[in-house]
Chain A
Amino acid sequence: MARKITYQQAINEALDQEMSRDPSVIVMGEDVAGGAGAPGDDDAWGGVLGVTKGLYAKHPGRVLDTPISESGYVGAAVGAACNGLRPVAELMFIDFMGVCFDQIFNQAAKFRYMFGGKAKTPVVIRAMYGAGFRAAAQHSQCLYNIFTHIPGLKVVIPSNPYDAKGLLIQSIRDNDPVIFLEHKALYTMEGDVPEESYVVPFGEAAVVQEGDDVTIVAMGRMVNYAKDAAASLRKRGIQCEIIDPRTTSPLDTDTILESVERTGRLVVVDESHPRCSMASDISGFIAQEAFGALKAPIQMVTAPHVPVPFAASLEELYIPSPARIEEAVMKVKEYR
């Protein structure tokens, strides 16, 4: 039965249900319980924002606090995955991937292929991403583009509570390394989520709303912004189709292609920097595969090519806004 819960609760529930179903699932990370060795509560934090709260008591011995050693524990999660566990390692802020990237992209990502198909590496690396918290340049990046670039990794960026739960369960059951990215601004978002366990398959985009005039591909937090822009555009008589890829690797190109062939106009909205981004990737794909169908140049709505600034006045300018999406849609719509 579905009831309304938050994105954060949906993630917690997915972890809880998978840990109950499969004893090989473990959770590790800095302060995922919070309080190891301290005089007060053993599970004082449950993650910096409380996303893993309660799992420590429900699954004794399977929620492991780690020292601040990302290379060490992320690599250990990869090794444990090679030896029969299904670890979910939390990296807290995705920006910290810089510390342990070798274990992810030279190790985990390569094993299955490089070992001639003999290895499987069912590890999930969870982290929060995204701007909007005045957390500045080292705690606000998106970075999903970087993971998407690397063969062997699967990359998941849920935009709502329903997808968060179903995609996380799929991530844990998947036999490849999965980067599971949670937008910090979405943790409090509420939505209908079934109580029972279910999966959302990888590589299947969601058509968030249908429309025949312009295709908007948006991901993560930007899906909501695209919806806001589309609602306003509807009043101006423009019908937008919004596609949320949900996973950037694998990417459901069929759904995007089919839509653009119908609308002939494409806007891609990506919260990350424009160079080598999902925006440029999807734009390039469509330019190559659907050139004949395009009635206007593709528009990319992205953050600028600058680090995330601290001051609120600058960060608000940095993040793509519904107004900028609307502007881009008008540009492709009015193009002659």
Chain B
Amino acid sequence: MSSPLTREGLLQAYRTMRTIRDFEERVHVDFATGEIPGFVHLYAGEEASATGICMHLNRDDYIASTHRGHGHCIAKGVDPVGMMAEIWGKRTGTCKGKGGSMHIADLEVGMLGANGIVGGGGPLICGTALASKLRGTNNVGICFFGDGASNQGTIFEAMNLATVWKLPVIFVAENNGYAEATSSNFSVAVENIADRAGAFGMPGVIVDGFDFFAVHEAAGEAIRRAREGHGPTLLEVKLSRYYGHFEGDQQTYRAPGEVQKLRDTKDCLMQFAKRVTSRGELSMADIEAIDREVKTMIDDSVVQAKAAPLPLPEDLMTDVYVSY
């Protein structure tokens, strides 16, 4: 089967995945030096999911993200320079340094926020989808959530509501096998999260999250359905996170060599590059040019973040409806 993506589309897909990977690996390095404050949850390893899904979206479509939100933000078009500054707690950050890694949001590009509350995004995305539907646009809402979040009441309620109101929502369960240290084998009562879809009156689809093309195709179908008014879909993306739950996690709950094996055999960027070059759709030179361009951009984002000013004392009391 030939790829349905144009050359431009392929370049964009690779550029997005590479940007997410490099962004995360750089944050990993800088966090270890103690320069980055707070909790940071990295998305490295899961790039094909955010990218394969968000490539179908317009600016006016919304996504709701999670604590592991950097990848979703980048894929939805949030500026990585502002994101980096936000993570460093600077005034030039996406949220003026008031939110940090766990709360990056940019409503201008349809990014309703990373979320510090697991399962918080499900009901919210039903709301953006309801607004789109009532306004008569064909915009959709995507709710990203993890295997752990899949057990949260808010997610169940949101899935039921989405079907009851026939909302243009795609519930994307990013099953990376763990919620903190707890395995999804333990926490999810059924074999697959997607198996629950039937109980909520929507199709459930399982897709290999290391394979960009598989995600892209499955998401395309679900989003088409939603845009055409056929209601929600539950898409379960099976993937893995390359780093700990948060930076600093010793990960003794994992099997030895678990991540290395995946990096060596299934990595989404590796598979993508292999496929497009072997089919002659892109050249190695194309890939390397993006690698260089992205590396420069990420390096520069850190230089800018470091040099950026801290929030000012008066910023403490702004953006809230009352000071007392």
Interface residues of A (CB under 8 A from B): 30-31, 34-41, 44-45, 48, 65, 67-72, 95-96, 98-99, 133-139, 274-275, 304-307, 309-314, 317-318
Proximity string of chain B (137-170) to chain A, C-beta cutoff 8 Å, 1 when within and 0 when not: 0000000000011011110000000000000000
List residues of chain A with CB within 8 A of the CB of B151: 67-69, 72
**Complex Cα gap A41–B284 (Å):** 42
Identify which of B39, B90, B117, B313 contacts A317 (C-beta below 8 A).
Answer: B313
**In the complex with contacts A99-B117, A313-B310, A38-B182 CB distance below 8 A:** yes
**Complex Cα gap A160–B252 (Å):** 31
Q: Is the CB of A36 within 8 A of B116?
A: no
Q: Is the CB of B185 within 8 A of A307?
A: no
Interface flag for B102 (CB, 8 Å): yes
Interface flag for B307 (CB, 8 Å): no
List residues of chain A with CB within 8 A of the CB of B184: 37
- Of the listed residues A133, A136, A139, the one surrounded by the most CB atoms of chain B closer than 10 A to its CB is A136
Which 6 residue pairs spanning A and B have beta carbons closest together? Answer: A37-B186, A138-B116, A310-B100, A37-B183, A134-B37, A34-B181
Quote the shortest CB–CB distance from A315 to chain B (angstroms).
9
Contact stretch, chosen from B3-11, B43-51, B219-227, B315-323:
B315-323
**In the complex with contacts A67-B182, A313-B311, A95-B117 CB distance below 8 A:** yes
B87 to chain A: closest residue by CB: A310
List residues of chain B with CB within 8 A of the CB of A36: 182-183, 186-187
List residues of chain A with CB within 8 A of the CB of B256: 40
Task: Sample 10 A-B pairs with CB under 8 A, ordered by A number.
Answer: A31-B181, A35-B182, A36-B187, A38-B181, A45-B181, A138-B103, A309-B98, A310-B95, A310-B99, A314-B313
**In the complex with contacts A44-B253, A68-B149, A138-B117 CB distance below 8 A:** yes
Quote the shortest CB–CB distance from B43 to chain A (angstroms).
18
Interface residues of B (CB under 8 A from A): 37-39, 89-91, 95, 97-100, 102-103, 115-119, 148-149, 151-154, 178-188, 250-256, 258, 310-311, 313, 315-317, 320, 322-324
Q: Is the CB of B182 within 8 A of A40?
A: no
- Of the listed residues B89, B91, B178, B185, the one surrounded by the most CB atoms of chain A closer than 10 A to its CB is B89
List residues of chain B with CB within 8 A of the CB of A40: 251-256
Q: Is the CB of B116 within 8 A of A137?
A: yes
Quote the shortest CB–CB distance from A260 to chain B (angstroms).
24
**Complex Cα gap A95–B118 (Å):** 11
Q: Is the CB of A135 within 8 A of B317?
A: no
List residues of chain B with CB within 8 A of the CB of A139: 39, 102, 116
Identify which of A39, A70, A135, A307 contacts B38 (C-beta below 8 A).
Answer: A135
Q: Is the CB of A318 within 8 A of B37?
A: no
**Complex Cα gap A98–B153 (Å):** 12
Identify which of A41, A133, A137, A305 contacts B103 (C-beta below 8 A).
Answer: A137
**Complex Cα gap A305–B185 (Å):** 43
Q: Is the CB of A68 within 8 A of B187?
A: yes
List residues of chain A with CB within 8 A of the CB of B115: 138
